[in-house]
Amino acid sequence: MKTIYAFVFFTMIAAFPLAAEWETYELIDRLLGIQEPCAPVVHENSVIFTASSEMGKVGIAFAHEKFANVYWFKQLMVSQDRLAPVFLPGQKYPDPYKDSGILFYVYQVPEEFLEVEYRLVVNGLWTIDPLNSQYKKDPVSGLNFSTVSIQPRPSKSNPLKGLPNGLIFTFNAPAGETVTVAGDFNGWDPFMYELKEYPAGVYSITLPLPPGKHQYVFFHRGRRFADPHNPNRVYAKDGSAASLIVVP
């Protein structure tokens, strides 16, 4: 009888922060849709930079920071769920992860920026982005740097709206799922406050909060997320982030 081997591939992000400030489902889906290293991809207010993992250690620095800070790319890994064959005791199970061939860095663009100017650091050497055909020459230093154009973005109102009886918390996720919010106002209980979905994919809840500073996160599919609509963050010692709101 012919044995059929079924291979199901699930893509995951290695070293994804549990509450990265840029992390939204739309952005993650856009990142996971990249099949090979490519020119920078602009997604709403973020830019996804990619490089081949064969390049080694890759970092990026920005002109508006005078190239003083280098941010290192992360590796995009592929998780393999092998449904067959069955491995017997004593047999070595294969490594469940493999390199996708892509390194990435996601940069959240300040609202006033219409262009991002940057250079890469590849194995200790400065260079322009080989995957980006757009570049300029610095008239002072004579060095070339890569550029990414950003379309003007309409200003978004803060979904945390002040109401006489509380604040509205809003979160975007796939339709038909469960989203909750927790914070210092409910002992960080991830089950107490469930958001209602309306319209499809938009979840919200109104909570009465006393005056003062409050920290909170959203919970979805067992993971915690800082509010992507609220730029104010606080960070724990382990690097996890929570959103901060001040009620007058």
Query: What one-character DSSP code corresponds to residue 121?
Result: E
Q: Is the full-model pTM beyond 0.75?
A: no
Question: In a structure prediction context, what are the per-residue pLDDT tens digits for the chain, which is 248 residues long?
Answer: 333 232 323 333 333 433 344 456 667 778 888 889 999 999 877 899 999 999 999 999 999 999 999 999 998 876 665 444 555 566 665 656 677 899 999 998 887 788 999 999 999 999 999 999 999 998 888 889 999 999 876 555 454 554 555 688 999 989 899 999 999 999 999 999 999 998 888 899 988 888 888 999 999 999 999 998 888 888 877 778 899 988 87
Calpha distance 52→154 (Å, rounded): 33
Hey, what amino acid is at 209?
L
**Summary count for the chain: helices (H), strands (E):** 1, 21
Q: Are 145 and 119 in contact, with CB atoms under 8 Å apart?
A: yes
Containing 28, the helix (H) or strand (E) segment is helix 25-32
Which domains does the chain show, CATH number per domain? Answer: 9-33+40-149 (2.60.40.10), 162-247 (2.60.40.10)
Calpha distance 102→56 (Å, rounded): 11
**Cα Rg, the chain, nearest whole Å:** 22
The pLDDT assigned to 4 comes to 29
